């Protein structure tokens, strides 16, 4: 039986937070909002609690979890080495959507780290998330609160749809503000490397510490331990087939109109996951407006909700295009690439 509690996202009720913290302390599972997506949390230092996350999600054991902490000082509870680079970046971006990969403390369960000697850590900025971590008194391991591989959840209803009956408690704090996961930065390497683009852009990071490397977007081998979540090839996927068109905007839209026409003649229901200003050139489709094409923050905030909405409206296929690779565009590109059934370059 899954309980669902509604809290103010800015001023969460301390009594409800205490109830949720008690679930964490007794090694149960609590889904909670962060600024990025909803997370599915358990005591990161209790291997049996962490194993419940994997069972609830159907997540493979080789896909590591991010450990959520309340402050930079708490990072030392799970990480063995806090470099000056981390301190500099934390001063600029934490709390916030930036995850660090660091050498782990020996007592951090290997179930959290996919058997590796590094651990991913971040300090979320959402008031509910921070209150829950502080009240629990333990680091909280939390991947996204969805069935593994499915579209990430940005509302409590998304969590309910995927996981009710599988988790103890869902904290409903409304829709998340960023809508795509955190940026994962591996600072255990000589050159800091972005493993997963996300809510903090490469350009913003480089303004603080200089040049960083970017892991190529090729998927990792399915059977090897991943150094970061979000690296497997098929991820974030809606139920419908998603066709992702990559290239210059006008050519991409022309190709998508062609695909839409072909699909409609085959009797298929076509969903459009596009910018508001892209939609008028399409007919007889199910539209979902992500936001203006030059407003990447709105597009990111609405991306996963759009996938789920089009699934709910019975779309057989979903058509999407890329929004470049600068700023949040890189994170959008990464998520759509991994969600896609087919990628079309124009």
Query: DSSP character for 47?
Result: H
The rounded Cα 239 to chain-centroid distance in angstroms is: 18
Contact 133, 283 (CB under 8 A): no
Distance, in Å, from the CA atom of 237 to the CA atom of 229, rounded to the nearest integer, reads 15
Distance, in Å, from the CA atom of 219 to the CA atom of 227, rounded to the nearest integer, reads 12
Burial of 91 (0-12, 13-18, 19+ CB in 10 A): exposed
CA dihedral 88, 92, 94, 96 (to 10 degrees): -140
Strand blocks (E) in the chain: 3-6, 30-33, 38-43, 66-68, 98-103, 118-122, 140-141, 169-172, 183-186, 193-196, 213-214, 241-246, 270-274, 286-289, 317-321, 342-345
Q: What is the pTM of this model?
A: 0.96
Q: Give the count of alpha carbons within 13 A of 234, CB side only.
A: 13
pLDDT tens-digit series, residues 58-116: 999 999 999 999 999 999 999 998 999 999 999 999 999 999 999 999 999 999 999 99
pLDDT tens-digit series, residues 6-57: 999 999 999 999 999 999 999 999 999 999 999 999 999 999 999 999 999 9
Tokens, residue 81: 């080495």
Instruction: Give percent of the chain above pLDDT 90.
Output: 91
Distance, in Å, from the CA atom of 61 to the CA atom of 166, rounded to the nearest integer, reads 18
Q: Going from the N-terminus, what domains does the chain have, and what CATH number goes with each?
A: 3-214 (3.90.870.10), 241-345 (3.40.50.11030)
| pLDDT score, position 227 | 81
| pLDDT score, position 81 | 84
pLDDT tens-digit series, residues 216-271: 766 666 667 788 887 876 788 999 999 999 999 999 999 999 999 999 999 999 99
The mean predicted confidence, pLDDT, of the chain is: 95
């Amino acid at each position: 039986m899954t309980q669902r509690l509604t809290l103010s996202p800015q001023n969460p009720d301390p009594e409800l937070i205490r109830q949720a913290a008690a679930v964490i302390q007794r090694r149960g599972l609590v889904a909670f909002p962060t600024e990025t997506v909803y997370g599915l949390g358990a005591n990161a230092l209790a291997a049996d609690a962490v194993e419940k996350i994997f069972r609830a999600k159907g997540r493979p054991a080789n896909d590591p979890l991010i450990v959520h902490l309340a402050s930079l000082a708490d990072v030392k509870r799970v990480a063995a080495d806090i470099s000056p680079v981390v301190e500099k970046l934390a001063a600029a971006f934490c709390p916030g959507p930036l995850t660090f990969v660091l050498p782990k403390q020996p007592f951090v369960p290997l179930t959290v780290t996919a058997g590796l000697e590094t651990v991913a850590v971040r300090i979320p900025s959402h008031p509910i998330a921070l209150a829950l971590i502080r009240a629990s008194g333990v680091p909280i391991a939390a991947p996204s609160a969805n069935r593994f591989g499915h579209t990430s959840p940005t509302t409590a209803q998304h969590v309910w749809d995927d996981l009710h009956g599988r988790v103890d408690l869902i904290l409903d704090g409304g829709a998340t503000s960023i809508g795509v996961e955190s940026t994962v930065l591996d600072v255990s390497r000589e050159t800091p490397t972005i493993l997963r683009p996300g809510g903090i852009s490469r350009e913003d990071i480089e303004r603080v510490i200089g040049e960083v490397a970017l892991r190529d977007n090729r998927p990792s081998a399915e059977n090897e331990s991943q150094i970061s979540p979000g690296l497997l090839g098929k991820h974030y996927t809606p139920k419908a087939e998603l066709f992702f068109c990559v290239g210059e905007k006008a050519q991409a839209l022309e190709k998508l109109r062609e695909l839409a026409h072909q699909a409609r003649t085959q009797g298929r229901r076509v969903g459009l996951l596009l910018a508001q200003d892209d939609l008028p050139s399409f007919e007889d489709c199910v539209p979902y407006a992500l936001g203006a094409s030059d407003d990447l923050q709105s597009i990111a905030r609405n991306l996963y909700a759009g996938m789920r909405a089009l699934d709910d409206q019975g779309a057989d296929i979903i058509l999407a295009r890329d929004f470049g690779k600068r700023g949040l565009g890189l994170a959008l590109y990464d998520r759509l690439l991994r969600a896609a059934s087919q990628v079309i370059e124009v």
